[in-house]
């Protein structure tokens, strides 16, 4: 009896797995079509400099509305990477983000910098630096306005030497470099000294821990100190509460990003938000 039940369970798991594979295959096709039709969008989330409360910049976050639903980036980014669409997705988000950011500059607003998340596949493409340079020129955005965000996993790739060259070339152009989700990977310390990083972004899990009973922000505080010792700017992600914001300010964090300051917004809304801040 137990055996039969076991077998039944196995069948159920297989059916669930098969369903997942079908859904992923269909979603991959839909993503391919969406990219071809330029349907990928970029939301822009403001970052606040704590010293003066001003806008430090905006981070571009990929958005995909598929039918009546928004597909979460956690689902379609890894999908794009698995099916060879990472470069195409990265290019689409960069275009959409730069168009929105350029509109702010053209309107005479001060949007600070534009931060873009890039994947390993993009950094390994032969023409990535040229692509970025061309896109910046096309949108009349000064290279010093562009920040490239990479995660620690990018730096753990086999081809670290090539990736290092690409990052150096971007930096030579005037772009800045941020290490995203800092503290969640494995390579943290060694890579901070061997890559030309300007800023570290404290992962939101450490920001949220500030409000928890135990630890009370120990890791966030340590990462801020580490950044300071290495001469790096530190930005905390996922700031949602007054107490998190105050804690980070008190302990010398340079900037924050999170719902406390503003949510990610599609470009028109982001521009209206920035205008309201300025006036
Ligand atoms: P990330 O780069 O660490 O981006 C920050 C994430 O935190 C975003 O999730 C943002 O919407 C979310 N967030 C911002 N403020 C808060 C807050 O106060 N509370 C909470 N709980 N969350 C907050 P999102 O947009 O879902 O993106 C998830 C991840 O997907 C990003 O994490 C990034 O790693 C990746 N991603 C997004 N867009 C792109 C892209 O264009 N290219 C690549 N390669 N990756 C992207
Ligand atoms: Mg990021
Ligand atoms: Mg992050
Ligand atoms: Mg993250």
Output the pLDDT for position 10: 62
For residue 141, give both structure tokens: 């955005």
Residue 75 CB less than 6 A away from ligand 1: no
- Backbone torsions φ then ψ of 19, nearest 5 degrees: -60, -40
Q: Is the ipTM of this complex over 0.90?
A: yes
Runs of H (alpha helix) within 83-142: 86-106, 120-124, 128-138
Runs of H (alpha helix) within 149-211: 152-156, 160-173, 188-194, 204-208
What is the rounded distance in angstroms from the CA atom of residue 102 to the CA atom of residue 60? 13
**Contact yes or no for 196/155 (Cβ under 8 A):** no
Centre of ligand 1 from the C-alpha of residue 3, in Å: 45
Instruction: Identify the nearest ligand to the CA of 235 by its number.
Output: 3
In the predicted model, residues of the chain with pLDDT beneath 50 are 2
* Other beta carbons within 10 Å of 237: 21
- Residue whose Cα lies nearest atom 7 of ligand 1: it is 238
Which of 35, 44, 61 for a ligand 1 pocket mutation test, highest count of atoms within 8 Å of Cβ?
61
Which of 96, 116, 117 for a ligand 1 pocket mutation test, highest count of atoms within 8 Å of Cβ?
117
Residues 261/238/64/75 CA torsion (nearest 10 deg): -170
Output the pLDDT for position 152: 80
Separation of CA 161 from chain center: 22
Q: Strand, helix or coil at 66? A: strand
Output the pLDDT for position 160: 78
Output the pLDDT for position 167: 94
Output the pLDDT for position 185: 74
Instruction: Identify the nearest ligand to the CA of 258 by its number.
Output: 1
């Amino acid at each position: 009896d137990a055996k039969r039940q076991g077998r039944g369970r196995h069948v159920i798991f297989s059916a669930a797995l098969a369903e997942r594979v079908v859904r992923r295959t269909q979603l991959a096709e839909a993503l391919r079509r969406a990219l071809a039709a330029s349907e990928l969008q970029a939301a822009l989330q403001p970052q606040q400099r704590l010293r003066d409360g001003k806008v430090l910049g905006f981070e571009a976050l990929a958005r995909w509305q598929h039918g009546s639903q928004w597909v979460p980036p956690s689902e379609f980014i890894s999908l794009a990477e698995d099916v060879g669409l990472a470069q195409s997705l990265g290019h689409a988000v960069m275009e959409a983000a730069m168009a929105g950011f350029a509109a702010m500059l053209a309107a005479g607003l001060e949007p600070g910098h534009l931060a873009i998340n890039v994947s390993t596949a993009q950094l390994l493409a032969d023409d990535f630096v040229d692509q970025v340079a061309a896109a910046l020129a096309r949108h009349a955005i000064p290279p010093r306005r562009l920040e490239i965000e990479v995660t620690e996993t990018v730096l753990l790739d086999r081809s670290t030497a090539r990736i290092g060259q690409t990052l150096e070339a971007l930096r030579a152009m005037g772009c800045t470099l941020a290490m995203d989700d800092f503290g969640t990977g494995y390579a943290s310390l060694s890579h901070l000294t061997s890559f030309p990083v300007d800023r570290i972004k404290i992962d939101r899990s450490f920001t949220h821990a500030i409000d928890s009973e135990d630890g009370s922000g120990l890791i966030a505080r340590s990462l801020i100190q580490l950044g300071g010792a290495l001469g790096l700017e530190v930005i905390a992600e996922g700031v949602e509460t007054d107490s998190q914001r105050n804690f980070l300010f008190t302990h010398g964090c340079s900037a924050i990003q999170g719902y406390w300051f503003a949510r990610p917004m599609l470009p028109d809304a982001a521009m209206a938000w920035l205008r309201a801040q300025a006036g």
